[in-house]
Amino acid sequence: MRSTATRQVPAPEHRIDGHRYRATARVEVTARAVREFARAVRDFHPAHSSAAAAAELGYPALIAPPTFSSIVLGRVQREILDIVGSGPESARILHADQVIEIGRPLFAGDLLGCDIYFESFRQFADYDVMAIRSALTAADGTVVQTGSAALLARTGERESVLGEVARRIIRRGYAPVDGPTREAPPPARAPRPTVCFDDLAIGTEIPPGSLLLAHEDLARFAAATGEPARPGAGGTAPGMLQLGLASGYVSNWLGDPGAVTRIHAQFGSFTHALRIPASGAVAVTSRARVDQLDPRERRATLALDLRSGGRPLFGYAAAEVRFP
């Protein structure tokens, strides 16, 4: 039963904001999972499916698409919403700001751990406002990728003391962690894009792309990522699927998926929703232009624009890429 008493301010040692928790279970990146995720986000770069193609680019195994980490990050977000009292039946994310920082690509054979940082957690009326950072760690404990999310979720009428939330997290198998994390060293392998950095200028337009999304694509993405099944005739494409489409468009233009180092997108669940009918398909167009160039670091920032039916799928989206 949910209490209707006046909200109490928990003692500082019981607050979850500013604290880090570590999942006790690890996730293995399998070759099958890489192939299924790449197919689900319509990323057909051969290095995601062929070990020989990956080896030609200098990779030790199949390289995962840039947003493959969303399998873990999406699961963490769903768990957090469930833990704070807004289970999957009632929770609704109204706005999300998602960032994936890629220290190094993920490969088939990686064994990943996950640390969760609650950078801030506030409750206002029927809403939770959370800033969460998830760090994916390799077998040696170094952080290889991070995902940051700022979520505004409508959770319904309830009172939730943050101390109780912290206890729920521990009961779910997350252990409190102290001490600094070990950041992975910069990748020794230089990227091998087919695009030349010196040919780019501010405002350079990238060749547009287009694809069709059908209802079976939603089922395929749900199966690849562990997203809960969405019953009914039609459906709405998850934000992480839209982000995967965007990153695949960029990495295939580059020719080397490992050249993508950062993906950032902002979207609202209603304003930028991509609805898929039960029959037929919807067209999605992709465009991008060079927004920033850093000649010293040999990096470029691309402003991304994905649309369906003339409507933008992001409030803002960008990708950062590096060149040799």
Between CA 196 and CA 217 the distance in angstroms is 33
Angle at 40 between CA 39 and CA 42, to 5 degrees: 60
Report the interhelical angle of 215-225 vs 239-254 (nearest 10°): 90
Across 38-42, 130-134, 168-172, the highest mean pLDDT is recorded for 38-42
Distance, first Cα to last Cα, the chain: 59
The mean pLDDT value for 222-241 works out to 75
**Within this chain, domains 12-29+68-183 and 197-322 share the same CATH topology:** yes
pLDDT tier for residue 12 given thresholds of 50, 70 and 90? very low
The mean pLDDT value for 314-323 works out to 95
Nearest to 214 by CA among 282, 163, 269: 282
**CB of 265 within 8 A of CB of 243?**
yes
| Residue 183 scores a pLDDT above 90 | no
Token pair for residue 310?
């003339």
What's the pLDDT score for residue 261?
Answer: 95
| Residue 91 scores a pLDDT above 70 | no
Between CA 242 and CA 101 the distance in angstroms is 17
What's the pLDDT score for residue 233?
Answer: 46
Domain-wise residue ranges, the chain: 12-29+68-183, 197-322
Which architecture characterizes domain 197-322 according to CATH?
Answer: Roll (3.10)
Poorest-confidence range of 73-77, 95-99, 161-165?
161-165
Homologous superfamily of the 12-29+68-183 domain (CATH): Hotdog Thioesterase (3.10.129.10)
- Model pLDDT for residues 125-142, shown as the tens digit of each residue: 677 777 888 889 998 888
Question: For the chain, what percentages of helix, strand and coil (3-state, to nearest 5) are there?
Answer: 25, 35, 40
pLDDT tier for residue 13 given thresholds of 50, 70 and 90? very low
pLDDT tier for residue 2 given thresholds of 50, 70 and 90? very low
Between CA 308 and CA 134 the distance in angstroms is 30
What's the pLDDT score for residue 16?
Answer: 56
pTM of the model: 0.84
What's the pLDDT score for residue 239?
Answer: 84
| Residue 89 scores a pLDDT above 70 | no
The DSSP 8-state label assigned to residue 106 in this structure reads -
What's the pLDDT score for residue 303?
Answer: 98
